[in-house]
Structure 1
Amino acid sequence: MTHSHDAHETRAEQLLRAAALRVTGPRVATLDAVRRHAHADTETIIRAVREELPAVSHQAVYDSLHALTEAGLMRRIQPHGLVARYESRVGDNHHHLVCRSCDLIVDVACVHGEAPCIRPADPRGFAVDEAELIFWGLCPDCQAGDVAAPAAS
């Protein structure tokens, strides 16, 4: 009988092999951590990987993040002014909402569906195949906090 954890590792191993990457403990654990923690920063991912592999080095996780991103198994995003974040949602055409107050990042679908969902007015000869949009604002929790703050003063 296969345990659900074993089945998940098998899926991670299949993804690594399909991407022509060597299957290693840190890579499997890093892929799993990014899947469990959408838009997590590196430190959060390191902590999550260490839950599975307590002795893993920072460098092994950094190397895994780089290899998995290069292979297209995860995506690195870095909204202006924030540390890099990682997500396992790849291969679709989505963008992000970012809260200016608490740095919450939320996926948002593109209105037009296929990539790129927007095109520059003058692509200057570029063959555009992707557009990355970041929408900035305040999340509902921070909006509620900002409304309450002036009343408390």
Structure 2
Amino acid sequence: MTHTAATQGTQESLWSTALRSRDRRVTRQRLGVLAAVEAIPHATAEEISSAAQAELPHITVQSVYVILADLTGIGLVRRIDTPHSPARYETRVGDNHHHAICSGCGRIEDVDCAVGHAPCLTPEWSPGAHRMTIDIAEVVYQGLCEDCRQAATSHP
């Protein structure tokens, strides 16, 4: 067994355990979608569908959407709603990290909390507000990545 096959088998076993712990059956389709999301962080449902279909030719786009919604609902996948783009998905969940989006090429990068903890989860409430428990805060940084910035300065 190659190192890649062993790593894939280990990850598949982790996903299987995670699915069972959330009362979901372990299916080839769910594992295929999870593998695609893991392999292509910040991918759209269409990109995930294409990657999953490479391994499972009979999986439909509709099935991928249904599986993504379910995996998001049970906390195995995070849906990222970015401006001017379809939803994106990732398997990095539970740490309340943020995202930086290049306004030139659309690349998305993960950004850890700037101060080392999650102060954005303890907001300052307006007077009279009905307080709630905050589970996640969506912070989106927008700017130009290094490649787009260099391209912009080299082409006046």
- Structure-2 residue corresponding to 1:133: 139
Matched, 1:94 2:97: yes
Cα RMSD after superposing both structures? 1.9
**Whole-Å separation in 2 of the counterparts to 1:105 and 1:59:** 25
Question: Which deviates the most, 6-15 or 58-67?
Answer: 6-15
Secondary structure of 1:136 counterpart: strand
In structure 1, the gaps of 5 or more residues are: none
Q: Conserved in 2, the CA contact under 8 Å of 1:97 and 1:108?
A: yes
Distance 1:92 1:86 in 2: 15
Are 2:151 and 1:145 equivalent residues in the alignment? yes
Q: Which runs of 4+ in 1 moved over 4 A?
A: none
Count of residues in Structure 1 that have an aligned counterpart in Structure 2: 150
Task: Give the aligned partner of residue 76 of structure 1.
Answer: 79
User: Does structure 1 residue 58 correspond to structure 2 residue 61?
Assistant: yes
CA distance in 2, matches of 1:8, 1:119: 34
State the 1:118 CA deviation.
Answer: 5.5
Which has the larger displacement, 54-63 or 4-13?
Answer: 4-13
Q: State TM-score, norm by structure 2.
A: 0.87
Contact 1:93 1:116 in 2 (8 A): no
Give unpaired runs (5+ residues) of structure 2. Answer: none
TM superposition shift of 1:56: 0.8
Q: Which residue of 2 aligns with 1:8?
A: 11
The alpha-carbon distance between structure 1 residues 45 and 110, as it changes in their structure 2 partners (threshold 3 A), is same
Percent of residue pairs bearing the same amino acid type: 41
CA contact (8 A) 1:38 1:87 kept: yes
